[in-house]
Amino acid sequence: MHLHLHLCQTMIDFGPIYGYWLFSFERYNSALKNIKTNQRNGFESTFMRQFIEESWKRDFVCQLLKPMDALACFEIFDKFTTNNNNNNNNTNTNTNTYLSHSFSISEYLEASQNLSMTIRGNEPLPPSALPLKTRPLSFMPKHEYDCLVGYYQAAYKNPQISDCKDVIDDSPFVNDWIEMVKSVDLLGQSYKGCIGTNDHGSYIQAYFTERTGSEHAYIGEIQYLFVHNFRPTVSSLTYRNPHSSQHVFAFVKWFKSTSDKTRELEGVELLQDEFYKQDFQSILPVHRILLTVAIVDYKTTKNVNKKLAIPLPKKIYY
């Protein structure tokens, strides 16, 4: 508590608090505490052996996913995740997703900043995201499903893409089954939704193109993450691979922006305490996530509720 008396001077000396807080250190302590031990003699050796084994597995898998011939290693990769599958019967571990493509960290980092780059949601994920642990299949709510159909029409530039109730002959259609994902780790940064929890979802920032042609970074809250299977064309050589039909999205509610720029020089953005109407732009490929954002409630001198938002540093652990 004594440190609170020196917060002002501490920030002057070291910068924003999020640049040197110990939350990541404490999260890692939690990961270490969850390692299973026999709680008997040799606790230290049991603990270290398990820790080293898990670390070696991660390093091996990361190296495994880099070469183009990773398809030949499915059986080995599955063995590494056998224990996870047996210990958790409530989730389906999607072990083979995206292994057919080589992951490029430069392309991944560019995807969140370059809107001219074609991103549809079925691009390779970072090794840190694998294996995706999906929940059982569930129906997507009607309004959110309509957003998904609209997204595919825009992403694949095909207005003939239809929903499952209005199927047009010989045209692709979007099914309304999804697999929710509790969280996803993208290069060391974990993202989660708020649906089914008592907490808020991850606050994020992503670029969009305005009607004027300019680009603007909007801030929103992830409602849930999900995997959806969609194949735009049956005969196209581009989409023959079965794994390329799997798309990973975040369903996001975007905060309404304001014209108030009084805190802009401080790197702080003022937002309205309400969301834009949901549409196809609520469907965001996880590759398009630019940054995480810290948000606090704020009341103006006129007693109007607002939100204060400040972007946080981007984690890149690869």
**Residue 35: DSSP 8-state:** S
Please check whether residue 255 lies inside any domain of the structure: yes
Domain count, the chain: 1
Distance CA 311, CA 293 (A): 4
Task: Report whether 153 contacts 162 (CB < 8 A).
Answer: no
CA distance 57 to 61: 6
Whole-angstrom distance, CA of residue 317 vs CA of residue 185: 10
Owner of token pair 């002057």? 12
How does DSSP assign 237-301, residue by residue? GGG-SGGGGEEEEEEEEEEEE-S--TTGGGT-EEEEEEEPPP-GGGEEEGGG--EEEEEEEEE-T
- How would you write the pLDDT of the chain (318 residues) with one tens digit per residue? 677 788 788 878 877 777 777 777 787 777 777 776 666 666 677 777 777 877 777 677 666 655 544 445 555 555 554 444 444 445 454 444 444 457 888 899 999 999 999 999 999 998 888 888 899 999 999 999 999 999 999 999 999 898 877 666 667 889 999 999 999 999 889 999 999 888 899 999 999 999 888 999 999 999 999 999 998 874 444 443 444 789 999 999 999 999 888 888 888 899 999 999 999 999 999 999 999 999 999 888 888 899 999 998 887 876
Instruction: Give Cβ neighbours of residue 102 (< 8 Å, ≥ 6 apart).
Output: 65, 66, 67, 68, 70, 124
Q: Write down the pTM of the prediction.
A: 0.71
Alpha carbons 217 and 119: distance in angstroms, whole number: 17
* Residue 241 confidence (pLDDT): 41
Query: Would you say residue 46 lies in a domain?
Result: no
Question: Pairing relation of β-strands 173-174 and 162-163?
Answer: parallel
State the SS3 of 167-220.
Answer: CCCCCCEECCEEEEECEEEECCEEEECCCCCCCCCCEEEEEEECCCCCEEEEEE
The answer to whether residue 14 is domain-embedded is no
Does the residue 78 lie in any domain? no
Q: Is residue 136 part of a domain?
A: yes
Domain assignment present for residue 193? The answer is yes
Task: Please tell me the predicted confidence (pLDDT) of residue 310.
Answer: 92
Within-domain flag for 134: yes
- Residue 195 within any structural domain of the chain: yes
Domain that holds residue 214: 91-311
pLDDT of residue 315: 78
CA–CA separation, 317 and 307 (whole Å): 30
